Amino acid sequence: MNIFVGNLSFDTRDDGLREAFAAYGAVDTSQVVMDRDTGRSRGFGFVEMPDAGEANAAIAALNGSDLGGRPLTVNEARPRAPRGNGGGGGGGRRW
């Protein structure tokens, strides 16, 4: 199960996030999302846990709990919304 973790302290790193969730079961991956330009944490991340029961226990226990001095927002991650093709880049004929 993919889990969204919000309101992270800007000092929290991947290993700290993994450690918090590992108390409830196996953790496949943990990632704090970083800003491309500044290299600083964006204040949220994702944890992947293979067992749904353990993941739900972690969500119930950690939602609202304190990590790094901030109350966490923890819930099942929603699928990413499709993004438009957006970009310019030209791909067509020039003349």
pLDDT digits (tens, 9 = 90+) for 40-77: 999 999 999 999 999 999 999 999 999 999 999 999 99
Q: What is the CATH number of the domain that holds 59?
A: 3.30.70.330
- Residue 92: inside a domain, yes or no? no
Q: Are 17 and 11 in contact (CB under 8 A)?
A: no
- Residue 86: inside a domain, yes or no? no
- Residue 69: inside a domain, yes or no? yes
What band does 81 get if pLDDT is binned at 50, 70 and 90? confident
- Residue 38: inside a domain, yes or no? yes
- Residue 72: inside a domain, yes or no? yes
Question: How many domains, in total, are found in the chain?
Answer: 1
- Residue 66: inside a domain, yes or no? yes
Residue numbers of the domain that contains 64: 2-76
**Residue 45, token pair as written in the block:** 């991340």
CA angle (5, 23, 69) in 5-degree steps: 50
